[in-house]
Structure 1
Amino acid sequence: MLSVNHLSKSFQIHHLNKQIAGIHDIHFHVEAGKFLGIIGKSGSGKSTILKCIYRTYTPSAGEILFESKALGTVDLATCDERTMMHIRKHDIGYVSQFLQVMPRTSVLDIVINAQLEMGIDYETAKAEAIKTLHHFGIEETLFDNYPNTMSGGEKLRLNIARAVVKAPTLLLLDEPTASLDHASKLKVREAIERLKANGTTLIGIFHDLEFMDGLCDEVLDMATLKGVAVND
């Protein structure tokens, strides 16, 4: 499903005329349907790995070989933007602590639109959106609201709903439960377990190690800078 080989990312600080290393020579392999957890202290590069996979960051070196349903093997580190846009729409989901959406788009439309861009018809998308929002405890009174009227926890649950409703081939989770209460965390865990049971591959970062217990098949510890192969 995903092979990361010798992945490195550095950042140029122009006003200081210096480079800062984010990650260096990271390698790991994840089989389809498995869950790789990434742990490590703040600043160790966990989020940088996910952002390189999603191509929010362009890697400085290395390759990220991903098996796309429609396109076959693609190197996410070097593919063109059009290819990357297709993969984001149809293959890879990304959940962070922060919700980024088009302004003046309602809560319900955000989750519907996530499916429409995959070619799902409107009525099916709407029904699944309502079901998913209910699962994450978002009240129907909020469906027509804009996200900027919601609390931080509600935004985070909406962000997760938008990602999981697409049932992506690969789901990247960057601290998705950071500001959630216990009940909401359980909802996220249920959704992750359901996605995994249906064959979704996952890579996740969680500071809450108790939450990860029983979810992950293998763990990549940034302190060791060693990749972990996740195999059947």
Structure 2
Amino acid sequence: MTPLLSASGLSKTFVLHLREGARLPVVAHAAFEVFAGECVALGGPSGAGKSSLLKMVYGNYRTDAGAIRVRDGAETVDVATAEPRRLLRLRATTIGYVSQFLRVIPRVGARDVVAEPLVVDGAAPDEARERAGALLARLNLPERLWSLPPATFSGGEQQRVNIARGLIAHRPLLLMDEPTASLDAANRAVVVELIEEKKRAGVGILGIFHDAEVREAVCDRVIDVTAFQAAA
């Protein structure tokens, strides 16, 4: 079976220009795969390079070396060398991302924030808003908050909006960066259910899950990022 994501030879070093060009190696020769219908965790201690690898796969960080091949229909795209417009198209159709922090346009209500990916995909605005409301309700966000901008919410409420926005549209490959970090037990359980539903739909997931219970519940494999430790 062809993987949705195949990374090989990935290396990344940060250059600290405010520190006279000091070089901070992060990872070297990283290699891993993600297949449809499985959830793969990036494991290892803080500072091992987990978030950097996730950002390289999404294209937020450029690589120093290596390839990140993502299956996009009948085509395979190397994120490491893709032109910016091709990368944007890949994100619009194939790669979803649930980050730790919600970044949205100010003064836009939570339901519209969540509905936006569906509208971009071509759904009617009323249908998109209805589906967004259903997902927010499932994540226990009170309806009285749906019309309010998420910037006014607590950290846990913002994270639930972030999760809903990241999960509402179908993307074959989903990246998740600590999706349950600010959630209580009840909402963590809902997120576990949503991840399992994505897996059953054939979505491949690569994520960082510091919550051991969540990781054990949803992850099929753990990649030890310390195996890619770069030499200082």
TM-score range, shorter chain: over 0.9
Gaps of 5+ in 2: none
Cα distance in 2 for partners of 1:202, 1:112 equals 21
User: Does 1:164 pair with 2:181?
Assistant: no
The root-mean-square deviation of aligned C-alpha atoms, in Å, is 1.3
> How far off is 1:100 after superposition?
0.7
For 2:6, the aligned partner's letter is: S
Structure 2 residue 12 is matched with structure 1 residue 9 = yes
Q: Does 1:24 find its partner at 2:28?
A: yes
- Aligned-partner residue type, residue 103 of structure 1: P
C-alpha distance in 1, partners of 2:121/2:11? 31
Take 1:76 and 1:223, find their aligned partners in 2: how far apart are those partners? 23
Moved over 2 A (4+): 223-226
1:15 & 1:92 partners in 2: Cα distance? Answer: 33
Equivalences for residues 24-43 of structure 1 within 5 A? 24-43=28-47
Q: Distance in 1 between matches of 2:66 and 2:124?
A: 39
Deviation at 1:124, TM superposition (A): 2.2
Q: Alignment partner of 1:223: what SS? A: helix
The Cα of 1:121 is off from its aligned counterpart by 2.1
SS of aligned partner of 2:218:
coil
Counterpart among 59, 64, 71 of residue 67 in structure 1: 71
Deviation sequence 1:89-109 (CA, Å, 0-9, x none): 221111122111111111011
> 1:114, CA displacement in angstroms?
1.5
Determine the C-alpha separation between the residues in 1 that align with 2:86 and 2:112. 25
Contact 2:95 2:171 in 1 (8 A): yes
TM-score, normalised with respect to structure 2: 0.93
CA distance in 2, matches of 1:159, 1:180: 12
TM-score, normalisation: structure 1: 0.93
**Superposition pairs of residues 141-220 of structure 1, within 5 angstroms:** 141-220=144-223
Identity of aligned residues (%): 40
Structure 1: runs of 5+ lacking an equivalent: 227-232
Summarize deviations over 1:34-55 as a string: whole Å, max 9, x none.
1111111000000001100111
Partner residue, 2:48: 44
* 8 A Cα contact 2:192 2:217, kept in partner: no
Q: Is the 8 A contact 2:15 2:22 kept in 1?
A: yes
Residues 57-85 of structure 1 deviation map (CA, whole Å, 9 limit, x = unaligned): 1111100000013x610001110111111
Equivalence for 1:230: none
Q: Establish whether residue 119 from structure 1 lines up as the match of residue 125 from structure 2.
A: no
- Name 2:57's counterpart in structure 1: 53
**C-alpha offsets along residues 102-149 of structure 1, whole Å, 9 cap, x if unaligned?**
111110110111111112222221221111111111111011101111
Count of residue pairs brought into register by the alignment:
225
Shift of 1:167: 2.2
Provide the rounded CA distance (Å) in 1 between the counterparts of 2:124 and 2:109. 18
**Residue 133 of structure 2 aligns to a residue in which SS?**
helix
The one-letter amino acid paired with 1:188 is V
Shift of 1:12: 1.1
Q: Which moved more, 1:144-153 or 1:86-95?
A: 86-95
1:224, CA displacement in angstroms?
Answer: 2.7
